[in-house]
Amino acid sequence: MVKFEDVDPEMLDQVERGWQRRGRVSWPILKMFLETKKFMVKLDITDTQRKSSSLYSSLNTYIKNHDLKVKVLSIKGDLYLKRTDIDKDGNPIAPGEGDEILPGKEPVDVDQMVNEIDAGKRQPK
């Protein structure tokens, strides 16, 4: 059985902040990266006791879950962090601008796609 007790109003703010768990790996790395104000950095992960692939996965998940404007890149086993809200010169980029559009991954116009399917020009997947 549990009882539900009212929370002291003075404690509300503290409790709210207290439950927000910060990780010991991804959060410190990303926070320090944002502190640098650099566009891109290469990570020296020798002392982290983590494999590059494992750290890549952790960082990527953290970035997605917290909707950070950062991208983690893995090139030849080396990890790079890149900010997506500023350009190389440190100028802010408006949301949506500067996003990489890979061939075959262009944004889809849904209305046009539906019309094409209706007209028999395109088969639904």
Residue 2 C-beta: closest distance to other proteins, Å: 22
Region of 23-31, 52-60, 94-102, 116-124 interacting with other proteins (CB under 8 A)? 23-31
Residue 34 C-beta: closest distance to other proteins, Å: 5
Q: Residue 47 has which token pair?
A: 């002392």
Residues 6+ apart with CB under 8 A from 99: 84
With contacts defined by CB under 8 A, how many residues of the chain interact with other proteins?
A: 22
123/17 Cα distance (integer angstroms)? 51
24/35 Cα distance (integer angstroms)? 17
- State yes or no: residue 68 binds other proteins (CB under 8 A): yes
Matching residue, tokens 């997605």: 64
Among 7, 12, 31, 51, binds other proteins (CB under 8 A): 31
Instruction: Closer to other proteins by CB, 14 or 115: give it.
Output: 14
Name residue 47's amino acid.
D
Region of 17-25, 53-61, 93-101, 102-110 interacting with other proteins (CB under 8 A)? 17-25
- State yes or no: residue 88 binds other proteins (CB under 8 A): no
DSSP labels, 38-55: -SEEEE--GGGT--HHHH
